[in-house]
Amino acid sequence: MQNTLLKRLSIAAVGAGFLAAAASASLSGQAPRGGGAGGGVAAQGPAAPGAPAARGGGGGRGMPQGGRGPIKVLLITKGHPFERQQYWEMWDALGDDLTWTHIEHPAADIMMSPQYAKDYDVLAFYDLGGPGSPTVPRGGGPAPVIPEGSVITSNNRFYPPPSPELKKNFEALLKQGKGLVFLHHASAAWAHTWPEYSEVIGGACDWYAPTKVRGIDDPNMGYFGMTPQHITYVDKTHPITQGLGDGFDVVDEAYACHWFPDTFHMLATTDFKPADPTKNLNPKVQYSNATAWVKSAENSPVFYTEVGHGSTAWATPGYRALVRNAVKWAASKEALEWAKANPTKIFKASTN
């Protein structure tokens, strides 16, 4: 135990050093930036050497914020906080292959439709749609307005439902065919209120309340922060994993969530195993060590990986390579054709 803690601490310390270096480099990179064509003496050269564009500044030097690659990615967040700066930097680092545009819920709801998703090749989800809140706020304050149709759990949390427009539009989008990449906590989106959405991803999580998944009551799903794991590619021939070797080591949050292995094609497993899965999952549900997979959802190709909680994972080259390849695959004609040839019917009673 102590050994593991020490290991974790030293990894964190290395991480701290790395972040510190990055922070100081990027901040000093801002220093020479004086702006544009200000009239004056001693005009500075246009390119301050080595000045990264990541923080401040901008325009013209290096990789612009948002990237410049041919694949258009709409990156959807909100509902679960995260280390924003480091996350943006990871996406920028993929910027030779993709151009990404960030949008948050609830604005993102509108984009999850054939009409507005048409300008993007891939929708990448790092969101947690329909997050729960306590019905009685801790520390007092006015009671929250609980939207109609919310699910209220036995531990007094309420989960607002997706709007009818979102449900209708997203179903239409899936049937039309769109590359979808779901990352980490995105598997907890709408877990209480929109069972079809969990079927799209291939699993469901909620760490804060007992959750009914596929008609089974799971007590309280697990998350295990900063867990050293080895990720093993179990299919090394898929376009996403090809050339990535056997796998990679990563220190990241691991989950014990209710996955649906019957619905997906497994790409990778983790060697992490929760001490007592029955604390997290209904005894009828086996803990699954699947940590990355592909599947279809109606006519759309879907990728999910559990990895990607924080900056330690995002800075891991093996993780970046996995995300890069996943986006490239989801954007590809081959993936769309594969999904169309192997569709998964999800919406039984069509709302359209």
Partner 1 sequence: MGEAKPDEDIQKVKGKESKVKSMKKSINVCLALAGLVLASVGLTGQGQGQGQAPAQTPAAAGQGTGRQGGGGRGTPFQLPVAPFPNNMGQGGNGAIKVLFVSKGHDFDRDGLMTFFDQLGRDITWTHVEQPAAQVFYDQKNAAGFDVLAFYDAPGRAPRTVDGKTVFDDATPEAKVAFAQMLMAGKGLVFLHHSIAAWTHTWPEYQEVVGGACDWSNEIDYRKQHYPRSGAFGHTKQHVTIVEPASPIVAGLGDGYDIVDEAYACPYADDKTIHPLLRTDFVPQDPARNLGPKGKYSNLVGWYKSAENSPVVWIEHGHDTSAWANPAFQTLVVNSIRWAASPDAMAWAKKNPTKIFKNVKPLKPVKTSN
The residue among 41 and 143 lying less far from partner 1, judged by its C-beta, is: 41
In sequence order, what are the residues at sequence separation of 6 or more whose Cβ sits closer than 8 angstroms to the Cβ of residue 257? 187, 188, 203, 204, 205, 221, 222, 280, 281, 306
Q: How far is the CB of 80 from partner 1 (least distance, A)?
A: 6
Q: How far is the CB of 189 from partner 1 (least distance, A)?
A: 15
Helix 333-341 and helix 317-331, axial crossing angle in degrees, nearest 10: 70
The residue among 224 and 338 lying less far from partner 1, judged by its C-beta, is: 224
Say how many C-beta atoms besides its own lie within 10 A of residue 72's C-beta.
15
Q: How far is the CB of 92 from partner 1 (least distance, A)?
A: 10
The residue among 36 and 283 lying less far from partner 1, judged by its C-beta, is: 36
Helix 317-331 and helix 84-93, axial crossing angle in degrees, nearest 10: 60
The residue among 109 and 298 lying less far from partner 1, judged by its C-beta, is: 109
- Residues 335 and 265: their CA atoms lie apart, in Å, by 13
- Residues 18 and 16: their CA atoms lie apart, in Å, by 5
Q: How far is the CB of 249 from partner 1 (least distance, A)?
A: 18
- Residues 315 and 252: their CA atoms lie apart, in Å, by 11
Q: How far is the CB of 211 from partner 1 (least distance, A)?
A: 13
Which residue in this structure is represented by tokens 């559990």?
306
Q: How far is the CB of 221 from partner 1 (least distance, A)?
A: 11
Q: How far is the CB of 47 from partner 1 (least distance, A)?
A: 12
In sequence order, what are the residues at sequence separation of 6 or more whose Cβ sits closer than 8 angstroms to the Cβ of residue 264? 202, 290, 293, 294, 295, 304
Which residue in this structure is represented by tokens 């994993």?
241
The residue among 141 and 215 lying less far from partner 1, judged by its C-beta, is: 141
The residue among 24 and 342 lying less far from partner 1, judged by its C-beta, is: 24
Using DSSP's 3-state secondary structure scheme, residue 2 falls into: helix
The residue among 91 and 259 lying less far from partner 1, judged by its C-beta, is: 91
CA distances from 111 to 117, 124, 282 (A): 6, 12, 35
- Residues 205 and 190: their CA atoms lie apart, in Å, by 9
Q: How far is the CB of 254 from partner 1 (least distance, A)?
A: 10
CA distances from 145 to 153, 154, 158, 312 (A): 16, 18, 10, 37
